[in-house]
Amino acid sequence: MNVFGNSLKIILFGKSHEKYVGITLDGLPAGFKIDEESIAKYLNYRRPKPIINTSRVEEDEFEIIGGFNGFTDGAPLTILIKNKDVKSSDYDELFLKPRPGHADYPAYIKYKGFNDYRGGGQFSGRMTAPIVAAGGLLAPILENVGIRCYSRVVSIGEIKDSEEYTLEQLERRYENDLRVLSSGAYEKMMEKILAVRREGDSIGGVVETVISGLPVGLGEPFFYSLESGISALAFSIPGIKGIEFGDGFQGTLLRGSEFNDQLYLENSGKIKLKSNHSGGINGGLSNGNPVVFRVAVRPTSSIPKPQNTVNMKEMSNEILRIKGRHDPCIVPRVVPIMESVANIAITDFLLTFNGGELIGKN
């Protein structure tokens, strides 16, 4: 199923080695500027960076079908992104020798061998380009109603970035290729990624997202809680293997008296919370704090190191050596992807919350 959302529906189409990948957004209210610069900026953030990443070019030339005079007009809007630099022949040999860690084997069984295996087909990380284009379209629209989504890399393997940060640091998160906030962590992480690459291996990490400016009460009981909507979209992203909100699994080590975010009345008369262990969500509804979630990004599946597989033609065990171009670490590329996941999910929730109108904080 390539459709997500209630009030804002997104439909994802294309494949890694198809002519195009793309996305259709249906349900966007009329009158919002279609900011092509913002779409291009987000696509640029997702593009592989030299040294750590694959050499696939991913120029991401895009075309918009829909809108009127540069604004949304209430009709569906499609963003088409051309696939260039595709080297399908790398995959011919792999069809009957499934790559460990990829969808090759379960997809072959599910689709009875009719699956487009080139570059992972519809299971490829390439499918995140249109998601990021949609995120780039929605970012300035949300900003207009006071909502911002910031993601950053908090760890690569066992190396962690600083836990303390300022808003200014978050604003500058794209100034380095690893999307970390402290320069000390940058050096250590870069060294680690290069060492892992020399070993013919790969490494994973954690990406944190902070969403500020949400109205209190955003989220729908029961199956479309704020956590459920964000998680469903986050888990659609290839390579995401875990998610936690607020203190998450670490929170199990606290007592209720420590975990509870206690309420107080500010001098201004506003109700506030003293802490944010719940990650801005109680009962599936936003509670006025920033929403904070972290995703676990697995070590990249394709590695040069020899691995075991089965030759499904010969029905024999075989050693597989994957050729072609692959990232030793995809974690920094997940940063604009998670911002886009947040932008899409939050827009959908806001439109549901306000009966089709995009209104920010209450």
Ligand X SMILES: Cc1cc2nc3c(=O)[nH]c(=O)nc-3n(C[C@H](O)[C@H](O)[C@H](O)COP(=O)(O)O)c2cc1C
Q: Which residues form the interface with ligand X (CB under 6 A)?
A: 54, 102-103, 120, 123-125, 128, 237-239, 298, 300-302, 326-327, 330, 333-334, 337
Rounded to whole angstroms, how far apart are CA atoms 144 and 357?
13
Phi then psi for 133, rounded to 5 degrees?
Answer: -60, -40
Q: Which SS3 state, helix, strand or coil, does residue 227 take?
A: helix
Smaller CB separation from ligand X, 244 or 247: 244
Smaller CB separation from ligand X, 189 or 303: 303
Smaller CB separation from ligand X, 29 or 304: 304
Distance set, CA 262 to CA 256, 274, 288 (Å) = 11, 5, 12
Tokens for 212? 């500020």
Smaller CB separation from ligand X, 120 or 215: 120
Contact 185, 159 (CB under 8 A): yes
Smaller CB separation from ligand X, 93 or 357: 93
Contact 251, 301 (CB under 8 A): no
CB of 172 vs ligand X, minimal distance in Å: 22
CB of 115 vs ligand X, minimal distance in Å: 13
Give the torsion sign (CA, 159, 162, 163, 165). negative
CB of 186 vs ligand X, minimal distance in Å: 20
Contact 145, 358 (CB under 8 A): yes
Smaller CB separation from ligand X, 302 or 347: 302
Give 28's DSSP letter. Answer: P
CB of 337 vs ligand X, minimal distance in Å: 6
Rounded to whole angstroms, how far apart are CA atoms 43 and 55?
16
CB of 299 vs ligand X, minimal distance in Å: 9
User: What is the number of the residue whose Cβ is closest to ligand X?
Assistant: 125
CB of 301 vs ligand X, minimal distance in Å: 4
CB of 315 vs ligand X, minimal distance in Å: 24
Distance set, CA 156 to CA 85, 204, 329 (Å) = 29, 6, 9
Smaller CB separation from ligand X, 300 or 352: 300
Number of CB atoms found within 10 A of residue 302's CB: 20
